[in-house]
Amino acid sequence: MSMEAAQQTFIAESRELLVNMEAALLTLEKTPHDTDAVNAVFRAAHTIKGSGGVFGFDALVEFTHVMENVLDDIRAGRVKVDADLIALLLACGDHVSLLLDCLSVKDSAAAFAAAQPESHELQAQLNCYLENEAAGLPQVHDDLAHDADVQRIGGGDTVESDAWHISVRFGHNVLRHGMDPLSFIRYLATLGEIQSIFTLFDGMPDAAAMDPESCYLGIEIDFVGAVDKATIEGAFEYVRDDSAIRILPPHSKVADYVNLINDLPEDKTMLGDLLMASGVLTRNELDEVLRLQQRLDEETNADNPDPLAHTQRIGDILINQGMVQSELVNAAIGKQDQIKQHKVLEASNIRVHAGKLDELINLVGELVIVSASVGLSAKRAGNIDLLEAASTLRRLVEEVRDSALNLRMVPIGETFNRFQRVVRDLGRELGKDVELVLSGIETELDKTMVEKINDPLMHLVRNALDHGIESPQQRAQSGKSPRGQLRLNAYHETGSIVIEVADDGGGLHRDKILARAIERGLATADQPLSDQDVYQFILEAGFSTAQTITNVSGRGIGMDVVKRNIEALRGTINIESEAGIGTTIVLRLPLTLAIIDGFLVGVGKSAYVVPLEMVFECIELSQQDRLRVRESGYINLRGEVLPLLRLRDVFETKGEPSKRENIVVVQYAGMQAGFVVDALMGEYQTVIKPLGKLFEKLSGISGSTILGTGEVALILDVPALVQKAVGSETSKDRPALEHRMLERR
């Protein structure tokens, strides 16, 4: 991997870490004592700093280092998590993201220089937290911070407990010299709080050999106090010469504990348990100890042929002695397994450049076309073997196509999750308490689509927060919970992905919108308009009914951008609203932009493709209906009104219609319409080729494809055509029809 490529990977991974960090910070805001969340934030900052160092991005390293220090203090419980700190850390996350941006631009040195004032500003704020806490505990601190740095370079994880661990094995002559271990414990108790003591007497010989004047005792103490190592050492000064004393500062490396366990004379497993029972090692750290112990065991086993000697694990004895409940240990082991599985999961993902995937999809597209042409040639040749081979080829190509397209599918959850932050920040800015509820996050859609819906979604979310959801006071007045709710939902429906942005706010004011539309000349007062039509006006450029313009929205810019973006993706926007209950904006987008299953129909000499997922059924247009249809533009389909659209008329095809015409019934967004065509030509795999700029404004056509014969077929823009069919009915003063159409949803 070249340095350039490695740097790209670094940036991509750092961005992922920042996303995780943001999520963890938001969790932390809700549950300030969530140690997992604190650790996740710390890991993110730590990893970015570490990798940044490898590439020599000093500005980044310097900044994340300060962050890391504060986070380390949070982990240790020295700094309290509050809303201000979370806000600051979120801002820091954004700044790290900015610094990463600096790496991607051409003149990164200048970009870094530009970002520097903000770096300093944030660092100064972070340092406030460090200084506050340094004032409380002066001496220990430098020492510890230094220790911690050394540990980090070593890469070991540190334990969470903020207790000193003191391990003493008193010399045999201590009592004879007139000193009593008790007095040390009593003295220590005056310096701080003794969390736990375990007294060990494994060194005591049998009754006959035991000298009552010798000391056989050992103690393991967990001690919390604002002291430095010298003070603790001082407490044991008189026995230092003939006793074995080990002092581990708070947040020592797990490995240090393992060393301690191995150094002490007593049974190793028992000691390990004791440390955990005393609370100095947590469940998480138990995992680490288990792992380290296993490694040590493997090393020792190499020169020890008896495997049984090492089979008992720390943790087993824990249960045997009843020191902790077995669930606790099981939970720890379960967690370890989870971590393992997670690792496996991680390893099964590979990072591929999106360009390579696009290339693959393009090739598959060509393959689909060629396979269609092979099938056609085989049919003409009439060779049975060839036909069979061609049909096998077609089936395989279909499978290849599906799996290739699948490669680009990603769950929408990631996109949705980003809005947690947006909702939080905006809610604060606007003084509204809003909860974001996500559902359907596992719904998949094309990667390129994800990138393109981000901006429209952002607009919609901001709008919903600003205009949709009322202030807590207003909500309370109308008898709603003061906490607003914004829902993002996604699901698949007939070849489309549907994304809903719903708020439980005041709803749209139909009359206000209509009045404004008439004022702007978008509608006339006597025009019969459905609610749906009225709501669509808010998507027009420069349309706003907001009385006050806020920072967030209300300038009437945005919704038209949303509309443009969604339409560029061949999608549609539906708005549902109920006064006092809320507004739901429904986006319908095609699942993929590359290849679809199509249904080929013929009109005159031309062929058209209807996306197969939207085809509901095909029926024959009977002779007696034919004439009537020309007049009325609808038929009675099993008691329902079905508006019809003669494609021959729509595309002004010349020549006589064939003797028998057919109706293709299509369904879109809950509405049905029939296309009258000359011939039904069956299913066809369609590789979508975009139309050139020249044809962009062409209505009714969404793209083109190449048939096996090399001819070009046009892909019908079903949503637009259905709208046209239903619309033409309404314009003939048939509001009842449209009403029925809407009702059917």
Partner 1 sequence: MTITLTEAGKDASKLAVNGALTIYEAASAKAALLEALTKTRELEIDLSGVDEIDSAGVQLLILLKREAVKAGKHMRLAQHSAASLEVLDRYQLASYFGDPVVLSPDA
* Residue ranges that bind partner 1, judged by CB under 8 A: 175-176, 180-182, 185-186, 196-199, 201, 204, 207, 210, 212-213, 215-217, 219
Closest separation between CB of residue 324 and partner 1, Å? 13
d(CA 558, CA 560): 5
Closest separation between CB of residue 173 and partner 1, Å? 11
DSSP-derived pairing of the beta strands 409-411 and 444-446: antiparallel
H/E/C letters for each residue in 612-662?
HHHEEEEEEECHHHHHHHHHHCEEEECCEEEEEEEHHHHCCCCCCCCCCEE
Closest separation between CB of residue 131 and partner 1, Å? 38
Closest separation between CB of residue 269 and partner 1, Å? 18
Closer to partner 1 by Cβ: residue 209 or 384: 209
Closest separation between CB of residue 75 and partner 1, Å? 28
Closer to partner 1 by Cβ: residue 138 or 205: 205
Closest separation between CB of residue 252 and partner 1, Å? 22
Closest separation between CB of residue 178 and partner 1, Å? 9
Closest separation between CB of residue 181 and partner 1, Å? 5
Closest separation between CB of residue 207 and partner 1, Å? 5
Residue whose tokens read 């700094």? 79
d(CA 521, CA 529): 14
- Report which DSSP code applies to 157: P
Residue whose tokens read 């993002």? 488
- Report which DSSP code applies to 79: S
Closer to partner 1 by Cβ: residue 218 or 674: 218
Closer to partner 1 by Cβ: residue 204 or 742: 204
Q: Around Cβ 212, how many Cβ atoms within 10 Å?
A: 5
Closer to partner 1 by Cβ: residue 176 or 605: 176
Closer to partner 1 by Cβ: residue 175 or 671: 175
d(CA 337, CA 287): 9
Q: Around Cβ 268, how many Cβ atoms within 10 Å?
A: 20
Closer to partner 1 by Cβ: residue 198 or 651: 198
Closer to partner 1 by Cβ: residue 99 or 280: 280
Closer to partner 1 by Cβ: residue 176 or 353: 176
Q: How many residues does the chain have?
A: 745
Closer to partner 1 by Cβ: residue 215 or 726: 215
Nearest 5 degrees, angle CA 182-CA 183-CA 185?
65
Q: 717 — phi, psi (to 5°)?
A: -90, 85
Write b or e for each residue in 334-373: b if 16 or more Cβ atoms lie within 10 A of its Cβ, otherwise e: eebeeeeeeeeeeeeeeeeeeeebeebbeebbebbbebbb
Closest separation between CB of residue 313 and partner 1, Å? 24
Closer to partner 1 by Cβ: residue 137 or 179: 179
Q: Around Cβ 381, how many Cβ atoms within 10 Å?
A: 12
H/E/C letters for each residue in 512-555?
HHHHHHHHCCCCCCCCCCCHHHHHHHHHCCCCCCCCCCCCCCCC
DSSP-derived pairing of the beta strands 595-603 and 606-611: antiparallel
Closer to partner 1 by Cβ: residue 180 or 533: 180
Closest separation between CB of residue 171 and partner 1, Å? 13
d(CA 157, CA 365): 50
Measure Cα distances from 427 to 269, 432, 461, 473 in Å: 53, 5, 11, 14
676 forms beta bridges with 646, 663
- Report which DSSP code applies to 466: I
Closest separation between CB of residue 266 and partner 1, Å? 15
Q: Cα–chain-centroid distance for residue 685?
A: 33
